[in-house]
Amino acid sequence: MQIIGLCRFSYPALGGFQVEHDAIEERSAFLYSEKRMEERFRHFETIMLPSIAAQTETDFKFVIVIGDNLPERYQERLFDLCAPISHIQSQAHAPADHRETMQKAINTARVKSDAPCLQFRHDDDDAIAVTFVEEFKRAAMDCRPLLERNKFVAFDFPRGYVVRPDAKGLHVEETYHPFWGVALGCSVAPHIRKSIMTFAHGRMGRFMPSISFDQPVMYLRGHNDYNDSRQGPNVTQPKLKLLDNEGEQMIRNTFAVDAEHIRRVFA
């Protein structure tokens, strides 16, 4: 089974955002502002990228979708960071409908339409445990009869941490949040062009059989000033605590996220 992960990196889509803009030009200006891009790159470099690079199962593709209007200096910076990681593939797309573009990106990376495909979505400020792809694949193999009877099957690992990196290190709160969109995968049957991006992640359980694993801890969910999902006035604020040395070592072992690296980048 081919395994594909998808990440949009400041892609100026039509739809797909809770922060709305009247025109693509306004959305692009917001997404590509220098202050925002600096924050996104810091999280991308210290939180997301290390966990993708250190996966114990390396036989997968991780597709990063960017806008074809992303300024060249940011494209070069992104490509330089990703170059050492062989399973990362970047795709540039013109601004268009969010779900259609993300589905196109996944199907472009899908090389065997006659075989089941395991897919997961991922944000550019989140991390997954270094064992996520391996555990996702094992779970799907264990459930092979279920996959054969259904077009889609969801696999959710809802236990993780909300995290905020800064010059002091990493502030965290443990959380349990089903169908949150991180450490959430989906099997797609052969010859099906629809993808995990067809479904709103919080509603996937309404449209397919879903399997949830209470253990292990499987994600770091980034909490920062530009989270699209946290811009509303009624969003619950987590109670974050700065990790001590023991906690930093646990995060390093589980996610390949290094607090010393965070302190250097955020200093």
**What pLDDT is attached to residue 153?**
98
* Residue ranges covered by each domain of the chain: 2-266
- So what's the architecture of 2-266 in CATH? Alpha-Beta Complex (3.90)
**What pLDDT is attached to residue 20?**
60
| Those residues with Cβ within 8 angstroms of residue 168's Cβ, 6 or more apart along the chain or in another chain | 242, 263
**Residue 82 corresponds to which tokens in the numbers above?**
């990703």
| Those residues with Cβ within 8 angstroms of residue 87's Cβ, 6 or more apart along the chain or in another chain | 52, 55, 58, 59, 60, 61, 62
Q: What's the start-to-end Cα distance of the chain, in Å?
A: 42
* 218 neighbors 157 (Cβ within 8 angstroms): yes
**What pLDDT is attached to residue 227?**
52
* pTM of the predicted structure, to 2 decimals: 0.92
**What pLDDT is attached to residue 231?**
44
d(CA 224, CA 222): 6
**What pLDDT is attached to residue 254?**
98
Ranges of the chain with pLDDT below 70: 15-22, 225-235
| Amino acid at position 29, single letter | A
